Amino acid sequence: MFVYSRMSDNNTILQISAFAGLAGALLTQVLTGTFTYLNDRRKQKNDVRNQYRSRMVEVGESFYFMNGELMSMIKKNIAYWTNRRDDRSLTTLQYLKNEMEELDAYQNKLNTENWKYNLASIYFDLPFTMQEMLETNRTSHQLYLKVLDLSDHIRNSPSEETETLFKTYHLAVFDLCTHYDKLYHRMEQNMHAVKSQLLTGFFKA
């Protein structure tokens, strides 16, 4: 009887040990699977975040280049037009016309490649929106055409009429310079916004 009781106890202990081992193995598998899943999720999130950040930097660099090129041209033209707008020589008139045509052509190029510029609004919060920029570009073109028409009118008019035309022309150039100066500062706001958001994104990483 005593031997049977000991054998029964041993069987119970063996069963408990086997169950504990099985439970331990299952728990280990569950924990390993859970940790693997969490690590994979974290790795996937990190990969997506890194891809997004890389794309953000790429778009930001493209935005800086396009914006910077246009701002440089605007600044150069404002400085020249402001210094020479009272000049009545036909040579200056022709030079100003050429410069305006170059600036207008570059703006038209930006408009045709507007999809590249629009990418910035996906990745960045821009104070000067794309819609505002398109409306500003239309105003720029209207002012540009007005100056261009007056320039052609002066070159094709008798000398006795040019003095009055030059006064109107200089006012038109002043309006154009004022418009471009406002445009420059709005674009500058976008440059600061992109730079700030890029830096903030890196510091959060």
1-56 pLDDT, tens per residue? 544 444 455 555 545 555 555 555 565 666 566 666 566 677 767 777 788 888 88
- Token pair of 110, please? 């930006």
192 vs 162: CA distance, rounded Å: 44
102 vs 55: CA distance, rounded Å: 31
Convert the pLDDT of each residue in 129-187 to its tens digit: 888 888 888 898 899 889 888 888 888 888 888 888 888 988 998 998 899 999 999 99
Convert the pLDDT of each residue in 78-99 to its tens digit: 887 777 655 566 666 777 777 7
Has residue 151 been placed in a domain? yes
Has residue 117 been placed in a domain? yes
DSSP per-residue string spanning 58-74:
HHHHHHHHHHHHHHHHH
CB 99 within 8 A of CB 173: no
What CATH number does the domain containing 194 carry?
1.20.120
Has residue 126 been placed in a domain? yes
Has residue 84 been placed in a domain? yes
Three-state DSSP class for residue 1: coil
Please count the structural domains in the chain.
1
CB 142 within 8 A of CB 131: no
pTM: 0.69
Has residue 65 been placed in a domain? yes
Has residue 173 been placed in a domain? yes
- Token pair of 99, please? 């410069």
Three-state DSSP class for residue 173: helix
- Token pair of 46, please? 């990190």
Which residues form the domain of 122? 57-204
